[in-house]
Chain A
Protein backbone atom coordinates (compact mmCIF):
# COMPACT_ATOMS: atom_id res chain seq x y z
CA UNK A 1 0.00 0.00 0.00
CA UNK A 2 1.18 3.52 -0.79
CA UNK A 3 1.39 5.79 2.25
CA UNK A 4 -0.04 8.63 0.14
CA UNK A 5 -3.34 6.74 0.00
CA UNK A 6 -3.58 6.94 3.79
CA UNK A 7 -3.00 10.71 3.66
CA UNK A 8 -5.65 11.01 0.97
CA UNK A 9 -8.13 9.19 3.21
CA UNK A 10 -7.45 11.88 5.81
CA UNK A 11 -5.86 9.50 8.30
CA UNK A 12 -3.39 10.76 10.89
CA UNK A 13 -0.59 8.62 9.49
CA UNK A 14 1.76 6.87 11.91
CA UNK A 15 5.11 5.49 10.80
CA UNK A 16 8.16 4.35 12.73
CA UNK A 17 11.66 3.54 11.65
CA UNK A 18 13.83 0.51 12.18
CA UNK A 19 17.58 0.41 11.70
CA UNK A 20 18.99 -2.78 10.15
CA UNK A 21 21.68 -4.51 12.22
CA UNK A 22 25.39 -4.68 11.48
CA UNK A 23 25.11 -8.22 10.27
CA UNK A 24 22.49 -10.20 8.42
CA UNK A 25 20.61 -11.83 11.26
CA UNK A 26 17.34 -9.93 11.45
CA UNK A 27 15.11 -12.37 13.30
CA UNK A 28 15.10 -10.19 16.42
CA UNK A 29 14.44 -7.00 14.44
CA UNK A 30 11.59 -8.65 12.51
CA UNK A 31 10.09 -10.02 15.71
CA UNK A 32 10.14 -6.58 17.33
CA UNK A 33 8.68 -4.95 14.23
CA UNK A 34 5.88 -7.52 14.06
CA UNK A 35 5.12 -7.24 17.77
CA UNK A 36 5.22 -3.47 18.20
CA UNK A 37 4.82 -1.89 14.76
CA UNK A 38 2.25 -4.01 12.97
CA UNK A 39 -0.59 -1.66 13.91
CA UNK A 40 0.88 1.41 12.19
CA UNK A 41 0.68 2.51 8.56
CA UNK A 42 4.26 1.85 7.47
CA UNK A 43 7.78 1.15 8.71
CA UNK A 44 10.79 3.12 7.48
CA UNK A 45 14.05 1.27 7.00
CA UNK A 46 17.11 3.49 7.34
CA UNK A 47 19.89 3.43 4.74
CA UNK A 48 23.26 3.00 6.46
CA UNK A 49 22.09 5.55 8.98
CA UNK A 50 24.67 8.07 10.21
CA UNK A 51 27.03 6.68 7.57
CA UNK A 52 27.48 3.52 9.64
CA UNK A 53 27.65 0.41 7.44
CA UNK A 54 24.81 -2.05 8.07
CA UNK A 55 22.54 -4.51 6.34
CA UNK A 56 20.94 -2.87 3.32
CA UNK A 57 17.68 -0.99 3.44
CA UNK A 58 16.25 -2.65 0.33
CA UNK A 59 16.82 -6.21 1.55
CA UNK A 60 15.39 -5.33 4.96
CA UNK A 61 12.33 -3.74 3.31
CA UNK A 62 11.76 -6.96 1.40
CA UNK A 63 12.02 -9.00 4.60
CA UNK A 64 9.50 -6.72 6.36
CA UNK A 65 7.13 -6.94 3.42
CA UNK A 66 7.34 -10.72 3.49
CA UNK A 67 6.19 -10.49 7.12
CA UNK A 68 3.14 -8.48 6.10
CA UNK A 69 4.38 -5.02 7.08
CA UNK A 70 4.42 -2.02 4.72
CA UNK A 71 7.99 -0.81 4.32
CA UNK A 72 9.28 2.65 3.40
CA UNK A 73 12.55 2.29 1.55
CA UNK A 74 14.94 5.06 2.65
CA UNK A 75 17.52 5.97 0.05
CA UNK A 76 20.46 8.33 0.48
CA UNK A 77 22.79 9.68 -2.20
CA UNK A 78 25.97 9.11 -0.20
CA UNK A 79 26.90 5.60 -1.32
CA UNK A 80 25.60 5.18 -4.88
CA UNK A 81 25.77 7.09 -8.10
CA UNK A 82 22.68 7.60 -10.26
CA UNK A 83 23.10 4.29 -12.08
CA UNK A 84 23.04 2.31 -8.83
CA UNK A 85 20.23 4.41 -7.36
CA UNK A 86 18.00 3.98 -10.41
CA UNK A 87 18.80 0.28 -10.53
CA UNK A 88 17.86 -0.12 -6.85
CA UNK A 89 14.59 1.72 -7.52
CA UNK A 90 13.75 -0.85 -10.18
CA UNK A 91 14.72 -3.61 -7.76
CA UNK A 92 12.37 -2.10 -5.17
CA UNK A 93 9.58 -2.10 -7.74
CA UNK A 94 10.26 -5.78 -8.45
CA UNK A 95 9.84 -6.54 -4.73
CA UNK A 96 6.57 -4.60 -4.63
CA UNK A 97 8.01 -1.89 -2.40
CA UNK A 98 5.93 1.19 -3.07
CA UNK A 99 7.07 3.79 -0.54
CA UNK A 100 10.26 5.81 -0.69
CA UNK A 101 11.94 8.34 1.54
CA UNK A 102 14.59 10.16 -0.47
CA UNK A 103 17.46 11.90 1.31
CA UNK A 104 20.85 13.38 0.61
CA UNK A 105 22.44 11.44 3.47
CA UNK A 106 25.04 12.24 6.10
CA UNK A 107 28.61 12.74 4.97
CA UNK A 108 30.88 9.66 5.08
CA UNK A 109 33.18 11.47 7.53
CA UNK A 110 30.50 11.21 10.24
CA UNK A 111 30.30 7.43 10.21
CA UNK A 112 32.35 4.29 10.82
CA UNK A 113 34.07 4.35 7.41
CA UNK A 114 35.41 7.92 7.30
CA UNK A 115 37.89 6.79 4.65
CA UNK A 116 35.10 5.99 2.17
CA UNK A 117 34.48 8.08 -0.91
CA UNK A 118 31.37 10.23 -0.52
CA UNK A 119 29.36 9.95 -3.73
CA UNK A 120 26.62 12.63 -3.84
CA UNK A 121 26.31 12.25 -7.60
CA UNK A 122 22.66 13.19 -7.01
CA UNK A 123 21.14 14.91 -4.00
CA UNK A 124 17.73 14.62 -2.36
CA UNK A 125 16.09 16.91 -4.94
CA UNK A 126 17.65 15.40 -8.03
CA UNK A 127 16.92 11.91 -6.63
CA UNK A 128 13.22 12.81 -6.36
CA UNK A 129 13.49 14.08 -9.94
CA UNK A 130 15.10 10.77 -10.98
CA UNK A 131 12.23 8.77 -9.44
CA UNK A 132 9.71 10.96 -11.23
CA UNK A 133 11.58 10.47 -14.47
CA UNK A 134 11.60 6.67 -14.01
CA UNK A 135 7.86 6.82 -13.33
CA UNK A 136 7.44 8.45 -16.72
CA UNK A 137 9.19 5.46 -18.28
CA UNK A 138 12.54 7.17 -18.95
CA UNK A 139 15.77 7.00 -16.93
CA UNK A 140 18.05 9.95 -16.12
CA UNK A 141 20.17 9.14 -19.14
CA UNK A 142 17.09 9.68 -21.30
CA UNK A 143 16.66 6.00 -22.15
CA UNK A 144 13.28 4.29 -22.23
CA UNK A 145 12.43 1.57 -19.73
CA UNK A 146 11.03 -1.71 -20.92
CA UNK A 147 7.43 -2.34 -19.95
CA UNK A 148 5.20 -0.62 -17.42
CA UNK A 149 7.21 1.98 -15.43
CA UNK A 150 7.29 1.77 -11.60
CA UNK A 151 5.09 3.94 -9.37
CA UNK A 152 6.10 5.03 -5.90
CA UNK A 153 4.95 7.27 -3.06
CA UNK A 154 7.80 9.78 -2.93
CA UNK A 155 8.71 11.08 0.52
CA UNK A 156 11.29 13.58 1.63
CA UNK A 157 12.57 15.13 4.85
CA UNK A 158 12.75 18.60 6.34
CA UNK A 159 14.12 20.10 9.57
CA UNK A 160 11.45 22.34 11.16
CA UNK A 161 13.53 23.32 14.21
CA UNK A 162 16.68 24.04 12.23
CA UNK A 163 18.43 27.28 13.12
CA UNK A 164 18.20 28.12 9.42
CA UNK A 165 14.54 27.31 8.90
CA UNK A 166 14.07 29.67 5.94
CA UNK A 167 16.85 27.85 4.09
CA UNK A 168 15.10 24.56 4.94
CA UNK A 169 11.78 25.87 3.64
CA UNK A 170 13.44 26.92 0.37
CA UNK A 171 14.79 23.39 0.02
CA UNK A 172 11.38 21.93 0.89
CA UNK A 173 9.84 23.96 -1.91
CA UNK A 174 12.39 22.59 -4.37
CA UNK A 175 11.59 19.05 -3.21
CA UNK A 176 7.89 19.68 -3.79
CA UNK A 177 8.65 21.12 -7.23
CA UNK A 178 10.71 18.02 -8.03
CA UNK A 179 7.81 15.73 -7.05
CA UNK A 180 7.90 15.06 -3.29
CA UNK A 181 4.45 13.95 -2.11
CA UNK A 182 4.88 13.79 1.66
CA UNK A 183 7.37 14.86 4.31
CA UNK A 184 8.77 13.40 7.49
CA UNK A 185 10.59 15.77 9.80
CA UNK A 186 13.70 15.74 11.93
CA UNK A 187 12.94 15.14 15.61
CA UNK A 188 10.93 17.92 17.23
CA UNK A 189 11.11 18.92 20.92
CA UNK A 190 9.91 22.48 20.48
CA UNK A 191 6.23 22.39 19.49
CA UNK A 192 6.01 26.19 19.13
CA UNK A 193 8.81 26.15 16.54
CA UNK A 194 7.14 23.28 14.71
CA UNK A 195 3.81 25.11 14.64
CA UNK A 196 5.48 28.25 13.26
CA UNK A 197 7.16 26.10 10.64
CA UNK A 198 3.87 24.47 9.65
CA UNK A 199 2.27 27.89 9.22
CA UNK A 200 4.81 28.52 6.46
CA UNK A 201 4.98 24.95 5.11
CA UNK A 202 1.25 24.51 4.60
CA UNK A 203 1.44 26.65 1.44
CA UNK A 204 3.09 23.68 -0.30
CA UNK A 205 -0.01 21.56 0.26
CA UNK A 206 1.88 18.35 1.12
CA UNK A 207 1.26 16.19 4.19
CA UNK A 208 3.88 16.50 6.92
CA UNK A 209 4.60 13.92 9.60
CA UNK A 210 6.00 15.22 12.87
CA UNK A 211 9.33 13.57 13.70
CA UNK A 212 9.67 12.12 17.20
CA UNK A 213 12.70 10.67 18.95
CA UNK A 214 11.86 9.40 22.44
CA UNK A 215 14.35 11.09 24.79
CA UNK A 216 16.11 8.22 26.56
CA UNK A 217 18.42 10.05 28.92
CA UNK A 218 19.95 13.36 29.87
CA UNK A 219 23.17 12.32 28.13
CA UNK A 220 21.35 11.59 24.89
CA UNK A 221 19.68 15.02 24.94
CA UNK A 222 22.94 16.80 25.67
CA UNK A 223 24.62 14.86 22.87
CA UNK A 224 21.90 15.76 20.38
CA UNK A 225 22.01 19.42 21.39
CA UNK A 226 25.74 19.53 20.84
CA UNK A 227 26.02 17.38 17.74
CA UNK A 228 22.81 16.68 15.86
CA UNK A 229 21.72 19.23 13.30
CA UNK A 230 18.17 20.51 13.52
CA UNK A 231 17.53 19.17 17.03
CA UNK A 232 17.27 21.20 20.21
CA UNK A 233 15.97 19.71 23.45
CA UNK A 234 14.91 22.57 25.74
CA UNK A 235 16.48 22.75 29.19
CA UNK A 236 13.09 22.20 30.94
CA UNK A 237 12.75 18.81 29.27
CA UNK A 238 16.27 17.86 30.34
CA UNK A 239 15.35 18.87 33.90
CA UNK A 240 12.28 16.65 33.67
CA UNK A 241 14.49 13.71 32.72
CA UNK A 242 16.86 14.54 35.58
CA UNK A 243 14.09 14.60 38.19
CA UNK A 244 13.48 10.86 38.59
CA UNK A 245 16.37 8.71 37.35
CA UNK A 246 14.53 5.41 37.68
CA UNK A 247 11.50 6.68 35.79
CA UNK A 248 13.74 8.06 33.04
CA UNK A 249 15.70 4.82 32.82
CA UNK A 250 12.47 2.87 32.46
CA UNK A 251 11.47 5.13 29.59
CA UNK A 252 8.41 6.45 31.34
CA UNK A 253 9.49 10.10 31.34
CA UNK A 254 10.69 9.98 27.74
CA UNK A 255 7.40 8.55 26.55
CA UNK A 256 5.48 11.18 28.53
CA UNK A 257 7.50 13.99 26.94
CA UNK A 258 7.15 12.56 23.43
CA UNK A 259 3.38 12.03 23.86
CA UNK A 260 3.01 15.64 24.98
CA UNK A 261 4.89 16.92 21.93
CA UNK A 262 2.66 14.82 19.64
CA UNK A 263 -0.53 16.10 21.30
CA UNK A 264 0.56 19.73 20.99
CA UNK A 265 1.55 19.40 17.34
CA UNK A 266 -1.16 17.06 16.13
CA UNK A 267 -3.67 19.75 15.04
CA UNK A 268 -1.02 21.26 12.76
CA UNK A 269 0.26 18.18 10.90
CA UNK A 270 -0.91 15.08 9.08
CA UNK A 271 0.90 12.34 10.93
CA UNK A 272 3.75 11.32 13.17
CA UNK A 273 7.00 9.52 12.39
CA UNK A 274 8.67 7.82 15.36
CA UNK A 275 12.38 7.17 15.40
CA UNK A 276 12.50 4.80 18.36
CA UNK A 277 16.21 3.94 18.14
CA UNK A 278 15.92 0.56 19.81
CA UNK A 279 12.89 1.50 21.90
CA UNK A 280 10.39 0.03 19.44
CA UNK A 281 8.71 -1.71 22.38
CA UNK A 282 7.65 1.70 23.72
CA UNK A 283 5.86 2.76 20.51
CA UNK A 284 2.41 1.29 21.39
CA UNK A 285 2.42 2.98 24.81
CA UNK A 286 3.56 6.28 23.25
CA UNK A 287 0.71 6.17 20.75
CA UNK A 288 -1.78 5.31 23.51
CA UNK A 289 -0.65 8.28 25.63
CA UNK A 290 -0.73 10.56 22.59
CA UNK A 291 -4.32 9.50 22.03
CA UNK A 292 -3.76 7.94 18.62
Chain B
Protein backbone atom coordinates (compact mmCIF):
# COMPACT_ATOMS: atom_id res chain seq x y z
CA UNK B 1 0.00 0.00 0.00
CA UNK B 2 1.08 3.57 -0.61
CA UNK B 3 0.39 6.72 1.29
CA UNK B 4 0.50 10.17 -0.28
CA UNK B 5 1.21 13.28 1.70
CA UNK B 6 1.00 16.84 0.46
CA UNK B 7 4.33 18.49 -0.04
CA UNK B 8 4.95 21.61 2.06
CA UNK B 9 2.39 24.28 1.15
CA UNK B 10 5.16 26.73 0.17
CA UNK B 11 6.70 24.14 -2.12
CA UNK B 12 3.38 23.54 -3.90
CA UNK B 13 2.58 27.25 -4.21
CA UNK B 14 6.04 27.96 -5.58
CA UNK B 15 5.38 25.42 -8.35
CA UNK B 16 2.31 27.44 -9.30
CA UNK B 17 4.14 30.69 -8.60
CA UNK B 18 2.21 33.38 -10.46
CA UNK B 19 1.21 30.85 -13.09
CA UNK B 20 -2.10 29.32 -14.07
CA UNK B 21 -2.44 25.68 -13.18
CA UNK B 22 -4.78 22.87 -14.03
CA UNK B 23 -5.31 20.48 -11.12
CA UNK B 24 -5.75 16.72 -11.28
CA UNK B 25 -6.74 14.83 -8.14
CA UNK B 26 -6.59 11.10 -7.94
CA UNK B 27 -8.82 10.02 -5.13
CA UNK B 28 -6.89 6.91 -5.14
CA UNK B 29 -7.69 3.36 -5.14
CA UNK B 30 -7.55 0.55 -2.64
CA UNK B 31 -3.77 0.79 -2.69
CA UNK B 32 -3.26 4.48 -1.98
CA UNK B 33 -4.27 6.72 0.90
CA UNK B 34 -5.00 10.28 -0.25
CA UNK B 35 -5.00 13.38 2.04
CA UNK B 36 -8.41 14.55 0.84
CA UNK B 37 -9.18 17.39 3.23
CA UNK B 38 -5.76 19.01 3.13
CA UNK B 39 -5.73 18.88 -0.68
CA UNK B 40 -9.20 20.42 -0.93
CA UNK B 41 -8.34 23.23 1.48
CA UNK B 42 -5.18 24.11 -0.42
CA UNK B 43 -6.91 23.99 -3.81
CA UNK B 44 -9.70 26.30 -2.60
CA UNK B 45 -7.07 28.79 -1.56
CA UNK B 46 -5.40 28.59 -4.99
CA UNK B 47 -8.74 28.93 -6.75
CA UNK B 48 -9.69 32.03 -4.82
CA UNK B 49 -6.34 33.56 -5.77
CA UNK B 50 -7.36 33.01 -9.40
CA UNK B 51 -4.57 30.59 -10.26
CA UNK B 52 -6.65 27.59 -11.31
CA UNK B 53 -8.02 27.09 -14.85
CA UNK B 54 -9.90 23.91 -13.99
CA UNK B 55 -9.68 20.58 -12.25
CA UNK B 56 -10.49 16.91 -12.50
CA UNK B 57 -11.10 14.59 -9.60
CA UNK B 58 -11.20 10.92 -10.35
CA UNK B 59 -10.00 7.46 -9.47
CA UNK B 60 -7.23 5.45 -11.10
CA UNK B 61 -5.49 8.19 -13.09
CA UNK B 62 -2.83 5.56 -13.67
CA UNK B 63 -5.19 3.88 -16.15
CA UNK B 64 -4.02 5.55 -19.38
CA UNK B 65 -7.13 4.80 -21.48
CA UNK B 66 -9.52 6.16 -18.94
CA UNK B 67 -7.30 9.16 -18.20
CA UNK B 68 -6.84 10.04 -21.85
CA UNK B 69 -10.60 10.52 -22.28
CA UNK B 70 -10.84 12.72 -19.20
CA UNK B 71 -7.89 14.85 -20.29
CA UNK B 72 -9.26 15.27 -23.82
CA UNK B 73 -12.59 16.53 -22.46
CA UNK B 74 -10.71 19.16 -20.45
CA UNK B 75 -8.07 20.02 -23.02
CA UNK B 76 -9.12 23.66 -23.42
CA UNK B 77 -8.68 24.32 -19.70
CA UNK B 78 -5.42 22.40 -19.63
CA UNK B 79 -4.06 24.42 -22.52
CA UNK B 80 -5.05 27.64 -20.77
CA UNK B 81 -2.80 26.63 -17.89
CA UNK B 82 0.97 27.03 -17.71
CA UNK B 83 1.36 23.83 -15.78
CA UNK B 84 -0.52 20.82 -14.48
CA UNK B 85 -0.44 20.07 -10.79
CA UNK B 86 -1.15 16.46 -9.93
CA UNK B 87 -2.29 15.34 -6.48
CA UNK B 88 -1.66 11.61 -6.62
CA UNK B 89 0.95 8.96 -6.01
CA UNK B 90 4.09 8.91 -8.15
CA UNK B 91 2.51 6.48 -10.61
CA UNK B 92 -0.33 8.90 -11.38
CA UNK B 93 2.05 11.83 -11.95
CA UNK B 94 4.11 9.77 -14.39
CA UNK B 95 0.99 8.70 -16.32
CA UNK B 96 -0.14 12.32 -16.76
CA UNK B 97 3.37 13.48 -17.60
CA UNK B 98 3.66 10.87 -20.35
CA UNK B 99 0.38 11.97 -21.93
CA UNK B 100 0.81 15.74 -21.62
CA UNK B 101 4.31 15.70 -22.99
CA UNK B 102 4.49 19.41 -23.86
CA UNK B 103 3.16 20.65 -20.54
CA UNK B 104 5.08 20.92 -17.26
CA UNK B 105 3.48 18.38 -14.94
CA UNK B 106 4.25 18.75 -11.23
CA UNK B 107 3.71 16.43 -8.30
CA UNK B 108 1.98 18.04 -5.31
CA UNK B 109 2.45 14.98 -3.13
CA UNK B 110 5.22 12.76 -1.83
CA UNK B 111 4.60 9.05 -1.90
CA UNK B 112 5.62 6.66 0.87
CA UNK B 113 5.15 2.96 1.25
CA UNK B 114 2.67 2.16 3.98
CA UNK B 115 3.47 -1.17 5.57
CA UNK B 116 0.62 -3.62 5.55
CA UNK B 117 -2.08 -4.26 3.02
CA UNK B 118 -4.87 -1.75 3.27
CA UNK B 119 -7.64 -2.62 5.62
CA UNK B 120 -6.32 -6.10 6.21
CA UNK B 121 -2.96 -6.18 7.91
CA UNK B 122 -1.67 -4.10 10.78
CA UNK B 123 1.99 -3.11 10.79
CA UNK B 124 3.23 -5.95 12.97
CA UNK B 125 2.06 -8.56 10.50
CA UNK B 126 3.53 -6.96 7.44
CA UNK B 127 4.99 -8.86 4.49
CA UNK B 128 7.85 -7.38 2.47
CA UNK B 129 7.34 -9.84 -0.39
CA UNK B 130 11.02 -10.79 -0.20
CA UNK B 131 10.56 -14.01 -2.13
CA UNK B 132 12.30 -16.23 0.44
CA UNK B 133 9.86 -16.60 3.33
CA UNK B 134 11.51 -17.06 6.73
CA UNK B 135 8.32 -17.53 8.73
CA UNK B 136 8.76 -21.28 9.11
CA UNK B 137 12.00 -20.84 11.05
CA UNK B 138 10.99 -17.73 13.00
CA UNK B 139 7.81 -18.83 14.73
CA UNK B 140 5.53 -17.09 12.25
CA UNK B 141 6.94 -13.62 12.98
CA UNK B 142 8.64 -11.99 10.00
CA UNK B 143 12.25 -10.94 10.71
CA UNK B 144 12.31 -8.80 7.57
CA UNK B 145 9.52 -6.49 8.68
CA UNK B 146 9.56 -6.97 12.48
CA UNK B 147 13.29 -6.08 12.76
CA UNK B 148 14.40 -2.57 11.77
CA UNK B 149 17.58 -4.03 10.25
CA UNK B 150 15.76 -7.02 8.71
CA UNK B 151 18.23 -9.35 10.42
CA UNK B 152 17.74 -13.03 9.65
CA UNK B 153 20.23 -14.61 12.06
CA UNK B 154 19.04 -13.26 15.40
CA UNK B 155 19.00 -10.20 17.61
CA UNK B 156 21.58 -7.42 17.31
CA UNK B 157 22.97 -5.69 20.40
CA UNK B 158 20.66 -2.71 20.07
CA UNK B 159 17.61 -3.81 22.02
CA UNK B 160 16.97 -2.06 25.33
CA UNK B 161 14.10 -2.99 27.64
CA UNK B 162 12.72 -5.06 24.79
CA UNK B 163 12.56 -2.09 22.43
CA UNK B 164 14.41 -1.41 19.19
CA UNK B 165 17.37 1.02 19.10
CA UNK B 166 15.72 2.85 16.20
CA UNK B 167 12.27 3.34 17.69
CA UNK B 168 11.52 3.16 21.40
CA UNK B 169 7.90 2.34 20.58
CA UNK B 170 8.86 -0.68 18.48
CA UNK B 171 9.29 -4.03 20.16
CA UNK B 172 12.46 -5.90 19.24
CA UNK B 173 11.36 -8.32 16.53
CA UNK B 174 13.89 -10.95 17.58
CA UNK B 175 12.71 -10.89 21.17
CA UNK B 176 9.21 -11.56 19.85
CA UNK B 177 10.56 -14.38 17.70
CA UNK B 178 12.49 -15.87 20.62
CA UNK B 179 9.45 -15.78 22.94
CA UNK B 180 7.24 -17.34 20.30
CA UNK B 181 9.73 -20.14 19.57
CA UNK B 182 10.04 -20.80 23.30
CA UNK B 183 6.26 -20.92 23.57
CA UNK B 184 5.91 -23.50 20.83
CA UNK B 185 8.90 -25.50 22.04
CA UNK B 186 10.95 -24.82 18.90
CA UNK B 187 14.01 -22.91 20.18
CA UNK B 188 15.96 -25.54 18.24
CA UNK B 189 15.10 -23.58 15.10
CA UNK B 190 17.56 -20.91 16.28
CA UNK B 191 20.31 -23.43 15.60
CA UNK B 192 19.46 -23.53 11.88
CA UNK B 193 22.28 -22.93 9.37
CA UNK B 194 23.51 -19.36 8.80
CA UNK B 195 21.00 -17.51 6.66
CA UNK B 196 22.35 -15.35 3.85
CA UNK B 197 19.71 -13.24 2.15
CA UNK B 198 19.19 -13.51 -1.57
CA UNK B 199 18.34 -10.09 -2.94
CA UNK B 200 18.12 -11.53 -6.42
CA UNK B 201 14.65 -12.76 -5.46
CA UNK B 202 13.63 -9.46 -3.93
CA UNK B 203 12.71 -7.58 -7.07
CA UNK B 204 11.48 -10.55 -9.05
CA UNK B 205 7.87 -11.14 -9.86
CA UNK B 206 6.42 -14.62 -9.67
CA UNK B 207 6.77 -16.62 -12.81
Contact = CB atoms under 8 A, between A and B. Distances in A.
Contacts of B161: 163
Given A167-B154, A186-B157, A230-B157, A123 B149 contact: yes
Interface in A114-167: 118, 120-126, 128-130, 140, 157-159, 162-164, 166-167
Interface string A94-125: 00000000011011011000000010111111
Interface in B108-124: none
Interface stretch (B46-54, B96-104, B187-195): B187-195
Contact of A177 (B149, B152, B156, B191): B191
B162 interface: yes
A6 interface: no
B155 A173 contact: no
Contacts, number: 100
A228 B160 CA distance: 7
Contacts of B191: 173-174, 177
A229 interface: yes
A123 B159 contact: no
B158 interface: yes
A107 B149 contact: yes
A164 B162 contact: yes
B41 to A, nearest CB: 30
B174 interface: yes
22 contacts: A103-B157, A104-B151, A107-B148, A107-B149, A107-B158, A110-B165, A123-B151, A126-B152, A126-B194, A163-B161, A163-B162, A164-B159, A164-B175, A164-B178, A167-B159, A167-B174, A168-B157, A170-B187, A170-B190, A177-B191, A178-B153, A228-B160
A222 interface: no
A80 interface: no
Interface of A: 103-104, 106-107, 109-110, 118, 120-126, 128-130, 140, 157-159, 162-164, 166-168, 170-171, 173-174, 177-178, 186, 227-230
Contacts of A129: 194, 196
Nearest to A130: B196
A126 B196 contact: yes
Nearest to A133: B196
A129 B172 CA distance: 24
A54 to B, nearest CB: 19
A123 B174 CA distance: 14
Contact of A124 (B156, B160, B165): B156
Contacts of A178: 153, 194
A123 B147 CA distance: 12
A123 B165 contact: no
Contacts of B149: 104, 107, 118, 120, 123
B166 A167 contact: no
Nearest to A81: B199
Contacts of B154: 125, 167, 170-171, 174
